[in-house]
Amino acid sequence: MRYGAMFGPNITFLGIPECDYSDSKSYQDADVVIIGAPFDGGTSHRSGARLGPSAIRGTDYLPHDGSRPHLATRMDALKDIVVKDAGDVEMFSGDITKSCDALEKVIEKIAKDKKIPLILGGDHTVTWPNATGVAKAIGWGKIAVLHFDAHADTGDITFGSLIGHGQPMRRLIESGAVKGNKFFQIGLRGYWPPEDVLKWMAQQEMRSYEMSEIVSRGFDVVLDEVIKESIKDVEGIFLSVDIDVVDPGSAPGTGTPEPGGLTSRQLLDAVRKISVELPVVGMDIVEVAPAYDHAEITALLANRIVLEVLSGIALRKKNLQTGQVFNYSQSLLNDR
Amino acid sequence: MRYGAMFGPNITFLGIPECDYSDSKSYQDADVVIIGAPFDGGTSHRSGARLGPSAIRGTDYLPHDGSRPHLATRMDALKDIVVKDAGDVEMFSGDITKSCDALEKVIEKIAKDKKIPLILGGDHTVTWPNATGVAKAIGWGKIAVLHFDAHADTGDITFGSLIGHGQPMRRLIESGAVKGNKFFQIGLRGYWPPEDVLKWMAQQEMRSYEMSEIVSRGFDVVLDEVIKESIKDVEGIFLSVDIDVVDPGSAPGTGTPEPGGLTSRQLLDAVRKISVELPVVGMDIVEVAPAYDHAEITALLANRIVLEVLSGIALRKKNLQTGQVFNYSQSLLNDR
Amino acid sequence: MRYGAMFGPNITFLGIPECDYSDSKSYQDADVVIIGAPFDGGTSHRSGARLGPSAIRGTDYLPHDGSRPHLATRMDALKDIVVKDAGDVEMFSGDITKSCDALEKVIEKIAKDKKIPLILGGDHTVTWPNATGVAKAIGWGKIAVLHFDAHADTGDITFGSLIGHGQPMRRLIESGAVKGNKFFQIGLRGYWPPEDVLKWMAQQEMRSYEMSEIVSRGFDVVLDEVIKESIKDVEGIFLSVDIDVVDPGSAPGTGTPEPGGLTSRQLLDAVRKISVELPVVGMDIVEVAPAYDHAEITALLANRIVLEVLSGIALRKKNLQTGQVFNYSQSLLNDR
Amino acid sequence: MRYGAMFGPNITFLGIPECDYSDSKSYQDADVVIIGAPFDGGTSHRSGARLGPSAIRGTDYLPHDGSRPHLATRMDALKDIVVKDAGDVEMFSGDITKSCDALEKVIEKIAKDKKIPLILGGDHTVTWPNATGVAKAIGWGKIAVLHFDAHADTGDITFGSLIGHGQPMRRLIESGAVKGNKFFQIGLRGYWPPEDVLKWMAQQEMRSYEMSEIVSRGFDVVLDEVIKESIKDVEGIFLSVDIDVVDPGSAPGTGTPEPGGLTSRQLLDAVRKISVELPVVGMDIVEVAPAYDHAEITALLANRIVLEVLSGIALRKKNLQTGQVFNYSQSLLNDR
Amino acid sequence: MRYGAMFGPNITFLGIPECDYSDSKSYQDADVVIIGAPFDGGTSHRSGARLGPSAIRGTDYLPHDGSRPHLATRMDALKDIVVKDAGDVEMFSGDITKSCDALEKVIEKIAKDKKIPLILGGDHTVTWPNATGVAKAIGWGKIAVLHFDAHADTGDITFGSLIGHGQPMRRLIESGAVKGNKFFQIGLRGYWPPEDVLKWMAQQEMRSYEMSEIVSRGFDVVLDEVIKESIKDVEGIFLSVDIDVVDPGSAPGTGTPEPGGLTSRQLLDAVRKISVELPVVGMDIVEVAPAYDHAEITALLANRIVLEVLSGIALRKKNLQTGQVFNYSQSLLNDR
Amino acid sequence: MRYGAMFGPNITFLGIPECDYSDSKSYQDADVVIIGAPFDGGTSHRSGARLGPSAIRGTDYLPHDGSRPHLATRMDALKDIVVKDAGDVEMFSGDITKSCDALEKVIEKIAKDKKIPLILGGDHTVTWPNATGVAKAIGWGKIAVLHFDAHADTGDITFGSLIGHGQPMRRLIESGAVKGNKFFQIGLRGYWPPEDVLKWMAQQEMRSYEMSEIVSRGFDVVLDEVIKESIKDVEGIFLSVDIDVVDPGSAPGTGTPEPGGLTSRQLLDAVRKISVELPVVGMDIVEVAPAYDHAEITALLANRIVLEVLSGIALRKKNLQTGQVFNYSQSLLNDR
């Protein structure tokens, strides 16, 4: 019994085949299973991210035909690997505990079935059940989290709740699902968190790259360092992308926009590179709030982040099979 | 310890004095106490109503000086009676049970202190704690609810929850806080609820005026009937205004807009009339979602609904003291 | 081979079952067949109506579950009759002749199969093939057109083309598909057409109700006159609703908004009444341009116009079977 | 030396011929001269009305061809009378005194040349120079002002200035340009002005129709009363239309929107009727602020208000010449 | 007989003098002739580009006075060379064949008259007639196309049509108007075209620079390569700029936005450099869709792209006359 | 007697304590005093900047609690130094002379009290009184102005006025308040000013960095040069930031957006660096026009520019006390 869509028409990501997360057979041929987490009960300010999954699935000017040949790598992420869409998990925004629990169970099941769960948020609260579910399947404390975000999301109790979109990373470290020194945060900036939280983060040996450091050292240098360090001592990578890591000019449709972020180009190239070079075992893209978007540019960016990761996963699979190495500066478009 | 604002700057409704709901003395001179209920965890579709309280308080092109002389009645609602703003109740949208409980306690306390609580929502979930709190103070089953809305809000379990913005009226009747035959719903339309819920409503002897009936019989006729019937056998009136009762053209900033509603003029005149002619003991204005608003026209309408009610309450108080009766067609502006 | 959606995800109107217009068996049990006409090549100013079909199908805050119990009539239009969605006809906006021809063939086929075609436009050009197709099936010159619009759409050559969104009514009369004196236009206003076109219209004995006449005589009076006159000497009614008949405040999302129109309430009640009292054999709803909409209120209004018509058709069918007559002012919600 | 446009391209109202206000010969054949007053230095809250003239001139989906055949009256306001566009008066918003002085001189000159000045504002400050200029030409204290507005605009010193968009009516009465008892205000509502200003207004014997009175007595009744009373003892009528008299749903693009206003239909019909039945000697349409508009619906409404007035003036001229009387309920569209 | 504007007021680009494309004498003194191509019948998804020409011509906060002194080069593009505006070509969007034919004839005529045609689109369909017309004048197969775009636009039949905004480049190569190896595409990205089209492109020896290659090798390196290679074996350069080459954050007002594009700074500098260093014989700027724009930033960007090219052309002319070479890092603003 | 807010609720910048500029004692413990200058009477095109102060003060998703720990520097700008908010100066936009005079007096007083005035504009007119007031306190001709802007703002009489948002820099140099060779302009671009103004600027020995020069030489190189040169021979730095220096994609909410600007990241890092390395004695942030903003991203950027400067001032104070030097590439977040 597939749940389908919590809000709006029952569509799949760009027209890919659907599956049912309660029925392992329905996705047994899949490499990646997409799941919607339409939840925004954990946001600390503007809500709206619950409509993220439908926006990310449905936007695009190209036909919804289950094919997306990638211009730079010549992989077709929706054909060269098998990607299925399991629909949404029902997540009532008014009950954060129950909703997170429901989501975690689904993610754990999919990950235990050896599929890569790719979650469309929803607010960042969902990374707590997402990464927990994956860790339960891959190994407790045996995954690294690569975390693109303007915010560290390592807060403690907020509005009287231990759970929320500002706290998932703390919960993951406290539970042991992810070790503090396997957290790599890219794109942080602004005026949060306060000193005590920073101290806690340092104690956990988290590695956080603030934008000024990134500008000063160079984005490529930082990214290479993350790629090299993150894979040590773990079985896989969980990639968590908060759309607000990108500058609000290119990603206005989000709840807590923080000026001065990455360009969309930087993020798109980075997530693809990570997916090619590291074993991604789970991913989420969160905090797309369509009510604040303009001309769907934020939803479209999130849609492309998913496609870049899928293209990267497809290329990695091919490279592993063929032993090839991809050279980005080589122009695949013009070889004769 | 006044909680203040859950989101954004700590402002009061149009600059009126603040008070602290935990301290009865701070509002002992008040006729009406305004409370923000910044909650949208109960919405079944678009969220965003949590930012309603700050929008309703802060919009207006006139000075925020705690004075609003009403042109039609010549009452100054913010001066002729005492209105204070108690700030927001902390309502984490991710925990609907706890949030409703917190709100109910505040409302009950204020009502028991013989003040009229006027709640700025938030989604319509909040009417459950609001009217419950008032009923506990005024008399269980001894208030009538005058309910302006496009939707009956009498649903049962939704997304696995008994509580939500589509269910407050059922909860109130089931608990006995309000008797079914003391519910008067004005402005209903559209394609909800289904047959079983309609049957339940009829069993409760609720009185619901659908828009086609209102058009057919005339709005004034219907309103007079409601005013006459509602006051029988009760100690006071709870007025609940869902902004979506107004046509989406004049109130686009809401979560579940239903075309074909009242004009804003009809609603403004109606709530004032009710407040003059009936003993309002509590009120809420809900479902203003600023993210979907344009040029603040919805927030401004909600702000004016509050002012019309306050003006009506002030006029009623004066009329009761002086024995005067107000004649709307008499032009107060031109008497010499 | 169902064509599906020309733009965006392949969804049906509010989740009703799909059918294939090239396969009569797929819709043989249907009363009404919905078809998308995603075309805006005929617009004389702002384009954008090609995205109307997907917007009208997909908007709504209620579940897309193929059920819409109508509050005023207690009919469930999507259950009490059978409504299927045949998807879009491919209509390349750059080739108006070919696109209209393709659409006409589909409409004619469905009408000949004794189903009511209900077309989601697209710009008003599509009424030419729509009504032509229906006339070919029902009887050439044997249908009346009830036409809600701000504009008469009786122009001649525009931008060098005989076909366009300002000319469908002239084409229909010139071809004989519809007789001039069986055209009833409601809601006209503004500053078009010029004298020569008005003269032509008078010669055709078209009946056009300008807004000032409607205000002066009363909307109900005018509507009753139209209902009484239109049915004489014809086999059925084609209902054509241009969303711009409604005031731009409630329907901003359109290409040629003309201030001073009907209220959405008036239109919703009118189309339902027509569908109950007259034998509707075809319908289109046109000129919804989502790019100019705000908070989806125009798309939602169009969606409701479709639902009111379907509810009316369902009620008419029931009334014909049972001999009942519906009384709008009788409160169905409150009978016990 | 025609000044042309203060902001943006140098266009005329819907493509009519241009003239130069400094050169009487350039408009000697005109009945009406349009002048832009691109000023918003007098606004008490949101600015933006300086871009009103260009928006009102340039909006419209019909060709800018200097022809607008009016559907209800069959007059072509841009052809049956001569209307010319004199461009903008340079009005630096930072110098209200100098700007008003410059505007007044232009209006006085045009009115003395026996042309009807029709001013596109700009904020409502401009009615002070506009009506002053007309009174200087027609007769000091010998014009009536018909004033459609949500606000009385009779304030005294604001932000330290005697001049501003909340004060023009007081200035006009104080100077004697217009007698207090020749002021007729329609559509007032809300919570301004305070008691002392109301008292001053009553002393001046101004006649103000608040919305509740209008609803209670009927718009037609009130309008007929205004038409009958205003013309007594004056030589002509100055019509001043603040777009905010219309409900914000249909006119969001303005600086101080006040919910609960007239419908656009009511206003369009009213200004046409006034122009047919009374000798309009000057007119302004003010407070259109494009930055707050959506899909140009407010600018379009203002454009149509101008066209209705021009159509009315044309019809009045024809009626005076022919002795005909226009019957609104007579359907000009269908006579054979 | 100048056609003027197809939509809206008849304005010229920033107030430059008008000319008539049917009358060579009217532009015989011009270096560049601007033509509007208000067509969007070829778009594969969102329409709206037909309003591009009026938006590009009319936007700007500076006076429309026919002067634009360029800060970096100290050329005044509208004065140092002669630029005239021929108005729009009538292009009914519903008839792509006829519209393209009409446009091509105009462009060919202007190019044969030795003027540089500069076309304001319109969707990208128009590059087919544009470059064809120029090639007929300059030499069949003797121009290179420098093509800034997110998309290759080399598709074959789409929606049953050979012509459309995704196919112009294929049509140009197939006809021989432009040789495949003289196509230089900059800024491509995303998930189109599919493999067969890529193969065809490689066969034609097109040179396409995908964004990842551009980032990897450096934009300046790539641009220098294009400048060096493109000029070989041709008589002139046709520059085609699709606004969607820029990141959607800075150019949201377009039909098919693809995240991850160039910055507006990169594009502005690039088109100027090209215009200085290469003999541009024709240019178009396409795909500006105002309905999706915000605060006119996309229209303004397109306006500036035109001005940068014109400034470059002016500088090239001066350099050719004087033998000077421009040094961008030399600060012209501060020399003493 | 604190004036408070000219428009809307009386809030302080992010909840910091208020003070009264007429009462020196109220801010005697402050390092920085924030003042609102809600004026847009000087704008040459779009108005709206008068609502800048309230937008900049009130935006932010974080609690308005008077604390903002800076992630990169670990300073809390609102706690480590004392910042107070003096509210707005009353500046009627219709009287530029009086308004500038009032503002100048306030700024001079605060600067003479040895506090750093930080002014929230308002249009750029206000820099004339701002820098004049500071120069009167610090030393006539003894401050340098670091001016981030798309425009030079060195115009002469405009719309008949010597004062306006395009002229403040000329006025400052002409009066001698700032020497021409102590003006450093960063980010200029576009097509203004004309030759005669450029000549005047060169005569004054102003130093202006156009965007092409900045791209060509590198932003860091240019910034270092400015930092080194500006401090020579002066007593302090006045920092004036026009939000339009940033690309319109990231700062759409402004009156005269000019494509091709700095990234928000570049600006944020630059103003912080300046504040750390130079003695800032006054600052203004201007031209934020909320009516043109989207999702508050421009207001948020301006808010962050203020916070970066305050963080820099706090760090400079600490560095001066401790002798430390800050290293941006050193990761403060991860030290253990």
Tell me if the bond preceding C193 is cis, omega within 30° of 0: yes
Q: Using an 8 Å CB-CB cutoff, list residues of chain D that contact chain F.
A: 6-7, 40-43, 45-48, 50-51, 90, 92-98, 125, 159-161, 163-164, 289, 291-292
Beta strands in chain F (DSSP E): 32-37, 83-88, 116-121, 143-148, 183-188, 207-210, 236-242, 280-286
Neighbours of chain E (3+ CB pairs under 8 A): A, C, D, F
Whole-angstrom distance, CA of residue D44 vs CA of residue E269: 43
pLDDT at residue A327 in the model = 61
Cβ–Cβ of C331/B209 closer than 8 Å? yes
> Which residues make beta-bridge pairs with F262?
F246
One-letter amino acid identity for B155?
A: G
Chains A and D touch (3+ CB pairs under 8 A): no
| Nearest chain B Cα distance for residue A39, angstroms | 9
One-letter amino acid identity for E289?
A: A
Q: Count the neighbouring beta carbons within 10 Å of the beta carbon of residue B196.
A: 10
pLDDT at residue D282 in the model = 98
Using alpha carbons, select from F75, F3, F72 the residue that is nearest to residue F37. F3
- The answer to whether E160 touches E127, Cβ cutoff 8 Å, is no
pLDDT at residue B324 in the model = 78
pLDDT at residue C308 in the model = 98
Which residues in chain A have Cβ-Cβ distances shorter than 8 Å to C58? 8-9
- For residue B188, the SS3 value is strand
- For residue B231, the SS3 value is coil
Number of alpha helices (DSSP H) and beta strands (DSSP E) in chain A: 9, 8
DSSP-assigned states of every residue in E175-236: HTSS-GGGEEEEEE-SS-S-HHHHHHHHHTT-EEEEHHHHHHH-HHHHHHHHHHHHTTT-SE
Cα D252–chain centre separation: 18
Whole-angstrom distance, CA of residue D153 vs CA of residue D158: 11
| Nearest chain E Cα distance for residue F95, angstroms | 22
pLDDT at residue D336 in the model = 39
pLDDT at residue F336 in the model = 39
**Which helix (H) or strand (E) is D276 found in, with range?**
helix D264-277
Distances from the Cα of D131 to the Cα of A17, D49, D179, angstroms = 70, 19, 12
Decide if pLDDT at A330 tops 70: no
Decide if pLDDT at F329 tops 60: no
pLDDT tens column, C191-245: 999 999 999 999 999 999 999 999 999 999 999 999 999 999 999 999 999 999 9
Cβ–Cβ of C11/A11 closer than 8 Å? yes
Chains C and F touch (3+ CB pairs under 8 A): no
pLDDT tens column, D207-229: 999 999 999 999 999 999 999 99
Q: Tell me what the mean pLDDT of segment A274-299 comes to.
A: 98
Cβ–Cβ of D259/B331 closer than 8 Å? no
DSSP-assigned states of every residue in F182-222: GEEEEEE-SS-S-HHHHHHHHHTT-EEEEHHHHHHH-HHHH
- Which residue among E61, E247, E294 sits closest to F46, beta carbon to beta carbon? E61
Which residues in chain F have Cβ-Cβ distances shorter than 8 Å to D289? 291
Whole-angstrom distance, CA of residue B33 vs CA of residue B118: 6
Decide if pLDDT at E333 tops 90: no
Instruction: Give the chain D residue whose CA is nearest to the CA of B249.
Output: D249
pLDDT tens column, B158-185: 999 989 999 999 999 999 999 999 999 9
Which residues in chain A have Cβ-Cβ distances shorter than 8 Å to E208? 331, 333-334
Residues E71/E77/E81/E84 CA torsion (nearest 10 deg) = -170
Q: Tell me what the mean pLDDT of segment D263-279 comes to.
A: 97
- The answer to whether C12 touches C18, Cβ cutoff 8 Å, is yes
- Give phi and psi for A116, each to the nearest 5: -85, 115
Q: Using an 8 Å CB-CB cutoff, list residues of chain D that contact chain B.
A: 44-46, 188-195, 198, 201-202, 205-213, 215-217, 247-250, 252-253, 255-261, 263, 292-294
Decide if pLDDT at C165 tops 50: yes
> Which residues make beta-bridge pairs with B34?
B85, B118
Residues 6+ apart with CB under 8 A from B25: none
pLDDT at residue E1 in the model = 76
Cβ–Cβ of A300/E253 closer than 8 Å? no
Distances from the Cα of B85 to the Cα of B40, B69, B132, F88, angstroms = 21, 19, 21, 24
Radius of gyration of chain D measured on its C-alpha atoms:
18
Q: Can you read off the two tokens belonging to residue B194?
A: 């289904």
- Which residue among B192, B202, B249 sits closest to C335, beta carbon to beta carbon? B202
Q: Can you read off the two tokens belonging to residue B247?
A: 């046509």
Cα D282–chain centre separation: 8
pLDDT tens column, F32-70: 999 999 999 999 999 999 999 999 999 999 999 989 999
Cβ–Cβ of B8/F57 closer than 8 Å? no
Q: Phi/psi zone of residue C194: left (φ > 0), alpha (ψ -120 to 50 degrees), beta?
A: beta
Whole-angstrom distance, CA of residue C58 vs CA of residue A25: 30
Cβ–Cβ of A93/B164 closer than 8 Å? no
**Which helix (H) or strand (E) is D214 found in, with range?**
helix D211-217
Tell me the pTM.
0.97
Average pLDDT, chain C: 95
Decide if pLDDT at A331 tops 90: no
- Give phi and psi for B291, each to the nearest 5: -60, -25
Tell me if the bond preceding B290 is cis, omega within 30° of 0: no
- Give phi and psi for B194, each to the nearest 5: -75, 175
Distances from the Cα of F264 to the Cα of B48, E144, E245, E261, angstroms = 28, 37, 21, 17
Which residues in chain D have Cβ-Cβ distances shorter than 8 Å to B304? 190, 258-260
Whole-angstrom distance, CA of residue E8 vs CA of residue D305: 19
pLDDT > 90 fraction of chain E, expressed in percent and rounded? 93
pLDDT > 90 fraction of chain A, expressed in percent and rounded? 93
Q: Tell me what the mean pLDDT of segment D263-272 comes to.
A: 98
Q: Tell me what the mean pLDDT of segment C255-280 comes to.
A: 97
Cα B333–chain centre separation: 29
Whole-angstrom distance, CA of residue C208 vs CA of residue F136: 74
Residue that has been written with the tokens 């079914």 in this structure: B180
Cβ–Cβ of A71/E213 closer than 8 Å? no
Summarize chain C as % helix, strand, coil (round to 5).
Answer: 40, 15, 45
Q: Count the neighbouring beta carbons within 10 Å of the beta carbon of residue F150.
A: 30
Whole-angstrom distance, CA of residue B157 vs CA of residue B316: 40
Whole-angstrom distance, CA of residue C276 vs CA of residue C318: 10
- The answer to whether E122 touches E91, Cβ cutoff 8 Å, is yes
Whole-angstrom distance, CA of residue E101 vs CA of residue E113: 19
pLDDT tens column, D144-179: 999 999 999 999 989 999 899 999 999 999 999 999
pLDDT tens column, E81-119: 999 999 999 999 999 999 999 999 999 999 999 999 999
Cβ–Cβ of A257/F74 closer than 8 Å? no
Q: Tell me what the mean pLDDT of segment B201-216 comes to.
A: 94
Cβ–Cβ of F8/B57 closer than 8 Å? no
Which residues in chain C have Cβ-Cβ distances shorter than 8 Å to D268? 259-260
Which residues in chain C have Cβ-Cβ distances shorter than 8 Å to D251? 249
Residues 6+ apart with CB under 8 A from A70: A76, A77, A307, A308, A311, E191
Residues D293/D295/D296/D297 CA torsion (nearest 10 deg) = -90
